[in-house]
């Protein structure tokens, strides 16, 4: 057990069975899906068949699936697309939360600079915005509500279904970044009720650089990338056929295995929480709301180590020390680790700077074992003890 990977919220390994279905499209079936000849038609067939498979997994229509390069692009497309399409409409309003992924926050800030009125809701101590909060700030000018399904740093689930009901009632579009849940919880877009859903392949054992945006029929988003007629003029550029095929295969496998995977991962999450409670020296504070586990995604446990005698623990050093013992975890969002600023999510749920800076996010995958969790708890307990000494 010299390598224990607990960073599945950052990315998952590519399933070898998924790689196997991708390889022929890299080696022999290299045609451009826009070409008219037989190899082009073969590639087109692979893309459209994959679109059908993805749609079936999500309870969507094939025409509602736009392939993108992943979660970041899907989030950008959702936000920019809605406000581009409404550009002639001078008054417009976006509601989101300050605990969203940067792929939503940065486009929201850009829209704000361009004159859109943006409300960033405070997610409260557990890290999720409530339907009552959204109701309170809805305006006649509100065009879009954008909220994530599971927070990628602490795992809290947002009650998207209830919020979707409210949005529908008010004629407002709802975008949901479901990058951390689709492929784990088995999401049906009609059940979720969102009009736009962001999905990323590398979070469920598919390839990197591929994902999709579900766009409910009738929602006008315009085009994100101009210059080609691919994806029904919404995203120009030659399709990455191997990635599209791998994405569909990985999603199908994930949806099929969801029940088994979730119960395994949830049991390891419970074991990890119990292990930390029993064997790590206090003080520590769970950033994941561990007392309401049903309201969290099953794969994430985020815990902070507040200062003792005013001596803070350096979060980066903590991660590196764990890494030296073979335990791979994140300090927070993978996209922000490396930056010295404490996590915006932990700040948003009220952690002070030294506590937010000394956080560890474990994210569990389908192939982790109880023995690995046990060894990871030992490594964490020992590392924290040593760093505090
Ligand atoms: C919630 C969330 N949204 C968006 C992204 C970005 O996805 P991608 O890496 O596919 O661009 C991530 C990745 O960590 C994420 O966790």
Nearest alpha carbon, ligand 1 atom 8:
71
Please work out whether the CB of residue 156 comes within 6 Å of at least one atom of ligand 1. no
Report the separation in Å between the CA atom of 180 and the middle of ligand 1, taken as the mean of its atom positions: 8
Say if CB 94 and CB 79 are below 8 A apart.
yes
Prediction pTM value:
0.96
Instruction: Assign 347 to helix, strand or coil.
Output: helix
Extract the runs of DSSP E, i.e. beta strands, from 230-382: 285-286, 300-304, 327-328, 359-363
Say if CB 244 and CB 62 are below 8 A apart.
no
Q: Which CATH class is domain 4-11+258-388?
A: alpha beta
Question: 251: part of which helix (H) or strand (E)?
Answer: helix 241-279
Please work out whether the CB of residue 225 comes within 6 Å of at least one atom of ligand 1. no
Tokens representing 378? 């030992």
Report the separation in Å between the CA atom of 19 and the middle of ligand 1, taken as the mean of its atom positions: 21
β-sheet bridge partners, residue 67: 212
Please work out whether the CB of residue 60 comes within 6 Å of at least one atom of ligand 1. no
Give me the CATH topology for the region 16-253: 3.40.640
To test the pocket of ligand 1, the residue of 7, 101, 156, 363 to mutate (highest count of ligand atoms within 8 Å of its CB) is 101
CA 168 from chain centre, in angstroms, equals 24
Report the separation in Å between the CA atom of 62 and the middle of ligand 1, taken as the mean of its atom positions: 23
**Burial (Cβ within 10 Å: 0-12, 13-18, ≥19) of residue 312:** middle
CA 167 from chain centre, in angstroms, equals 22
Residue 255's nearest CA partner among 58, 77, 96 is 58
For residue 221, what pLDDT is reported?
92
Report the separation in Å between the CA atom of 200 and the middle of ligand 1, taken as the mean of its atom positions: 7
Nearest alpha carbon, ligand 1 atom 13:
10
Report the separation in Å between the CA atom of 386 and the middle of ligand 1, taken as the mean of its atom positions: 33
Please work out whether the CB of residue 103 comes within 6 Å of at least one atom of ligand 1. yes
pLDDT beneath 70: ranges in the chain: 1, 88-91, 332-340
The whole-angstrom separation of Cα 226 and Cα 57 is 28
Residues 6+ apart with CB under 8 A from 57: 251, 252, 255
Please work out whether the CB of residue 211 comes within 6 Å of at least one atom of ligand 1. yes
Active-site residues, by number, are 335
For residue 310, what pLDDT is reported?
86
The whole-angstrom separation of Cα 49 and Cα 53 is 6
For residue 323, what pLDDT is reported?
97
Say if CB 127 and CB 151 are below 8 A apart.
yes
Q: Parse the chain into domains and list their residue ranges.
A: 4-11+258-388, 16-253
For residue 186, what pLDDT is reported?
78
């Amino acid at each position: 057990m010299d390598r224990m990977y607990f960073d599945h919220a950052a990315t998952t390994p590519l399933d070898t069975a998924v790689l196997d279905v991708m390889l022929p499209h890299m080696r022999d079936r290299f045609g451009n899906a826009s070409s008219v000849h037989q190899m082009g038609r073969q590639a087109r067939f692979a893309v459209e068949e994959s679109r059908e498979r993805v749609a079936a997994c999500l309870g969507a229509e094939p025409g509602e699936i736009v392939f993108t390069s992943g979660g970041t692009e899907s989030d950008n497309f959702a936000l920019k697309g809605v406000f581009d399409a409404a550009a002639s409409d001078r008054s417009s309003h976006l509601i989101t939360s300050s605990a969203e992924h940067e792929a939503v926050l940065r486009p929201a800030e850009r829209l704000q600079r361009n004159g859109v009125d943006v409300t960033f809701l405070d997610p409260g101590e557990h890290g999720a915005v409530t339907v009552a909060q959204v109701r309170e700030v809805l305006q006649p000018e509100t065009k879009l509500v954008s909220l994530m399904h599971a927070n990628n740093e602490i795992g809290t689930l947002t009650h998207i279904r209830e919020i979707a009901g409210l949005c529908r009632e008010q004629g407002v579009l709802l975008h949901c970044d479901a990058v951390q849940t689709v492929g784990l919880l088995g999401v049906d877009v009609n059940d979720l009720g969102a009009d736009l859903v962001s999905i990323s392949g590398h979070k469920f054992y598919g390839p990197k650089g591929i994902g999709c945006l579900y766009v409910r029929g009738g929602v006008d988003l315009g085009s994100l990338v101009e210059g080609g007629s691919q994806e029904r003029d919404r995203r120009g550029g030659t399709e990455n056929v191997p990635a599209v095929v791998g994405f569909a295969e990985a999603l199908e496998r994930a949806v099929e295995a969801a029940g088994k995977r979730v119960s395994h991962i949830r049991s390891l999450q419970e074991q990890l929480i119990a292990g930390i409670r029993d064997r790590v020296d206090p003080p520590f504070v769970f950033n994941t709301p561990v007392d309401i586990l049903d309201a969290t995604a099953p794969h994430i446990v985020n815990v902070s180590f507040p200062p003792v005698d005013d001596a803070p623990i350096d979060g980066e050093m903590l991660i590196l020390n764990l890494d030296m013992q073979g335990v791979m975890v994140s300090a927070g969002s993978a996209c922000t680790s490396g930056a010295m600023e404490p996590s915006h999510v932990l700040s948003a749920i009220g952690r002070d700077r030294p506590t937010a800076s000394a956080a560890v996010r474990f994210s569990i995958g389908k192939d982790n074992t109880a023995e690995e969790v046990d060894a990871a708890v030992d490594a964490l307990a020992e590392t924290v003890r040593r760093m505090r000494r």
